[in-house]
Structure 1
Amino acid sequence: MNLSKLALAAAGAFALASAASLVATPAHAWGKTGHRITGKIATHYLTDDARAAIADLLGPESLAEASTYADEMRSNPDKFWQETANPFHYVTLQQPHDYHADDCPPEGDAFSALEDFTATLTSDSASRQEKQLALRFIVHIIGDLHQPLHVGSAALNDRGGNDVKVVFFGEQSNLHRVWDSGLVDHQQLSYSEFSHWLQRRITAEQANTWATPDPYTWIRESSKLRDEVYPQTDEPYLGWDYVYNYTPIMKQRLQQGGVRIAAYLNDVFAKAASNEG
């Protein structure tokens, strides 16, 4: 399905969303800093062909810049942004850890959107503007799927931790927001500083091991981590102990998200070049 058809179909189906599909309705995965980190890290692992194809589409716009576009456009009054695109940032699993076709609601989710935007990106009939949007969404969605609470659980029924109210260093918050931005912003680093620190610590062996373009793998990893990141007590205060315990997980998911953005785009553009040949 191309982008224009996707927008029309999803808009018509939006009202049919089931209760299960609304379990995880997050705001902004990783926040701007986290998404830019994954985009910046990805640039280190692109093939020459992928790098050239991206530059041809985006010009001077970097993957770090492109990574936040899908969130920055959320206030656009167009129906695509206000209705159709809302579910494209998360998945909700009926089973504990594996994504299945029947997990996808009528209006779509991050997994189905990734497939559709990939088809648009490699389509001979899609316009340049449609391909630019598709590429920006692909970078964003892959980052989203590496945030553990963007892989929601129908059984937990807490909207990806949005309903889990906490106090993070004295400020009212919720668990989802802590993972979107709280842990990342607590480092008090710019995205360029943070991405530099994280990327230089990725070993060649890790980069090779992590470089899977398979979204089923990313989702399975996030779902298992999701079950680990909930506070172990009913105490709503999250402070230094929580930061100490979960910052290493946050850092690794940002590193893996960056490596996987590159792996996915390398695979997509390699297949597209092969089909052209």
Structure 2
Amino acid sequence: MTDPFSSRALARRFRRLAALFALPLSLACAQPAFAWGQTGHRVTGAIAERHLGGLARAQIRLILGDESLAEAATWADEMRSDPSEFWQKTANPWHYVTVPPGKAHGPDTTPPEGDAASALARFSATLRNPAASRADRQLALRFIVHIVGDLHQPFHVGNGRDKGGNDVAISFFGEPTNLHALWDSGLIARNGLSFSEYADWLDRRIAPADMVAWWSADPAVWIAESAALRDGLYPARPDLSFAYAFAQQPVVDRRLQQAGIRIAAYLDRLFAR
């Protein structure tokens, strides 16, 4: 009879457990490159909902009904599986902007098909239009919540050379992925938290001084922040593990917190009378 506590048996059990724990990370890193992934976007929506003003909260309820901002935040990514031309072609560029090093985002960096910043302006005009249908306002509001989150993911402000880090092959704890996917979901999945747990944890750590400093409804500010961060996030080596995760987790946390606060700030401004 095999001793279940022998060194060989324990080693086999450890390898099985390691494989089980590695699987969620592997799956997370293999997901398509959607900014923050579902967990991150839901975190930003949940934080935003806690900081909305009363008028914005009421207006959002009229548009979305019982749908929370955490639910609305992932809709624009979920719809990318729709085979229609709108989702496969027209709306595809609305999740990112391109800002080459040393430049600022502006008309000269906006492509003819538009980008996240131009889409944000267009959807904001729809929300302000009293003649817009409820369906159009729902689409606009869901996109706005999503785009504000996107613009806080540093690699959704691409440098124009590597598709926002998608072309940068790396490994994370031995699992092959790319730099964009790591920032979308790999670093977040490593926490092992649900979106509601993560939102609670991050929101409790937003100090009053942070609220004052971060309360900005100007997309140019968010884009410039992401571009400045982006260039320092490229690793020196492709095999990443504890050191990279330890160094960058505070950046991930802060960008999620800021995105939540900026969603609230932007919607408060949109719905102000």
Aligned to 1:143: 149
1:97 offset after TM fit, Å?
4.8
Which of residues 216, 223, 237 in structure 1 aligns to 2:220?
Answer: 216
Aligned to 1:258: 260
Q: Structure 1 stretches of 5 or more lacking a match?
A: 1-25
Aligned to 2:15: none
The answer to which of 93-102 and 193-202 deviates more is 93-102
The answer to which of 46-55 and 119-128 deviates more is 119-128
Which of residues 237, 241, 244 in structure 2 aligns to 1:242?
Answer: 244
Which of residues 161, 164, 172 in structure 2 aligns to 1:160?
Answer: 164
**d(CA) in 2 for partners of 1:97, 1:196:** 36
Q: What is the one-letter code of the residue matched to 1:111?
A: A
1:105 aligns with 2:76: no
The answer to which of 96-105 and 143-152 deviates more is 96-105
Percent of paired sites with the same residue: 57
Q: What is the one-letter code of the residue matched to 1:268?
A: L
Counterparts in 2 of 1:253 and 1:80: CA distance versus 1, 3 Å: same
Aligned to 2:61: 55
Alignment check: 8 A CA contact 1:37 1:64 kept: yes
**d(CA) in 1 for partners of 2:109, 2:131:** 30
1:94 offset after TM fit, Å?
3.7
**d(CA) in 2 for partners of 1:165, 1:56:** 45
**d(CA) in 2 for partners of 1:97, 1:169:** 34
Q: Structure 2 stretches of 5 or more lacking a match?
A: 1-31
1:68 aligned counterpart, secondary structure: helix
Alignment check: 8 A CA contact 1:96 1:153 kept: no
Which of residues 124, 127, 134 in structure 1 aligns to 2:133?
Answer: 127
1:208 offset after TM fit, Å?
1.4
- Which structure 2 residues correspond to residues 63-212 of structure 1 after superposition, within 5 A? 63-94=69-100, 96-154=102-160, 157-212=161-216
Q: TM-score scaled by structure 2?
A: 0.87
> Radius of gyration: which is bigger?
2
- 1:139-176 superposed Cα distances (whole Å, 9 cap, x missing partner): 0000000000000112xx00000000000111110000
1:229 aligns with 2:233: yes
- 1:59-97 superposed Cα distances (whole Å, 9 cap, x missing partner): 110000000000000011111101000000000014525
Alignment check: 8 A CA contact 1:97 1:220 kept: no
**d(CA) in 1 for partners of 2:71, 2:100:** 34
**d(CA) in 2 for partners of 1:185, 1:94:** 29
